A and B are shown apart, each in its own frame.
Chain A
Amino acid sequence: MSSYEKWVAFVTILTREVRRFVRIWPQTLLPPAITITLYFIIFGTLIGPRIGAMSGFTYIEFVAPGLIMMSVITNSYGNVVSSFYGAKWGKSVEELLVSPVPNYIILTGFVMGGVARGLSVGLIVTLLSLFFTRLQLEHVVITCTVVFLTSVLFSLAGFINAVFAKSFDDISIVPTFVLTPLTYLGGVFYSTSLLPSFWGTVSHLNPILYMVNAFRYGMLGISDIDTGIALLIIVGFILALWVFSMHLLRTSKGLRS
Chain B
Amino acid sequence: MTRMTVPALSIRNLTKQYDNGFSALKGIDIDVAEGDFFALLGPNGAGKSTTIGIICSLVRKTGGTVKIFGRDIDTEFSQAKKDIGVVPQEFNFNMFEKPLDILVTQAGYYGLPRALAAQRAEKYLRVLDLWDKRNVPSRMLSGGMKRRLMIARALVHEPRLLILDEPTAGVDIELRRSMWDFLRDINARGTTIILTTHYLEEAESLCRNIAIIDHGEIIQNTGMKLLLKSLQREVFIFDTRGTIAALPDLGPFAGRLIDEHSFEVEVEKSESLNSLFTHLTAQGVEIVSMRNRANRLEELFVSLVASSAGREEGRA
Q: Which residues of A contact B (CB under 8 A)?
A: 1-2, 4-6, 8-9, 11-13, 15-16, 19, 23, 87, 90-92, 94-102, 253, 256-257
Q: List 15 A-B contacts (CB under 8 A).
A: A1-B78, A8-B114, A9-B109, A13-B108, A15-B108, A19-B101, A23-B96, A90-B92, A91-B90, A92-B94, A94-B92, A95-B109, A96-B109, A99-B106, A257-B18
Give me 17 other A-B pairs in contact (C-beta within 8 A), A94-B92, A98-B81, A256-B59 excluded: A1-B82, A4-B111, A8-B114, A9-B109, A11-B108, A90-B92, A90-B95, A91-B90, A95-B153, A97-B57, A98-B56, A98-B58, A99-B110, A100-B78, A100-B79, A100-B82, A257-B53
A6 to B92, Cβ gap below 8 A?
A: no
Considering the chains assembled together, what is the distance between the CA atoms of A174 and B303 in angstroms?
Answer: 54
Considering the chains assembled together, what is the distance between the CA atoms of A6 and B86 in angstroms?
Answer: 21
Task: Note all chain B residues with C-beta closer than 8 A to A96.
Answer: 109
Assuming the contacts A11-B108, A97-B57, asked whether A102 and B78 have C-beta atoms less than 8 A apart, the reply is: yes
A-B contact count (CB 8 A): 83
CB distance from B96 to the nearest CB of A (A): 8
Task: Note all chain A residues with C-beta closer than 8 A to B208.
Answer: none
Considering the chains assembled together, what is the distance between the CA atoms of A15 and B56 in angstroms?
Answer: 25
Considering the chains assembled together, what is the distance between the CA atoms of A182 and B112 in angstroms?
Answer: 43
A100 to B18, Cβ gap below 8 A?
A: no
**What per-residue 1/0 map shows which CB atoms of B126-161 lie under 8 Å from chain A?**
000000000000000000000000000100000000
State the 9 A-B residue pairs at the shortest beta-carbon distance, nearest first: A5-B111, A12-B108, A91-B92, A99-B109, A100-B81, A100-B78, A92-B94, A98-B56, A94-B92
Interface flag for B180 (CB, 8 Å): no
Which of A1, A8, A92, A99 neighbours the largest number of chain B CB atoms within 10 Å of its CB?
A99
Q: Which residues of B contact A (CB under 8 A)?
A: 18-19, 53, 56-60, 77-82, 84, 86, 88, 90-96, 101, 105-106, 108-114, 153
Task: Note all chain B residues with C-beta closer than 8 A to A257.
Answer: 18, 53, 58-60
Assuming the contacts A92-B93, A95-B92, A257-B18, asked whether A9 and B60 have C-beta atoms less than 8 A apart, the reply is: no
CB distance from B161 to the nearest CB of A (A): 12
Judged by DSSP, the binding face of B is loop
Task: Note all chain A residues with C-beta closer than 8 A to B153.
Answer: 95
Residue of B nearest to A24 (CB): B96
Judged by DSSP, the binding face of A is helix
Assuming the contacts A94-B92, A257-B58, asked whether A12 and B77 have C-beta atoms less than 8 A apart, the reply is: no
Considering the chains assembled together, what is the distance between the CA atoms of A1 and B109 in angstroms?
Answer: 10
Task: Note all chain A residues with C-beta closer than 8 A to B106.
Answer: 95, 99
Residue of A nearest to B79 (CB): A100
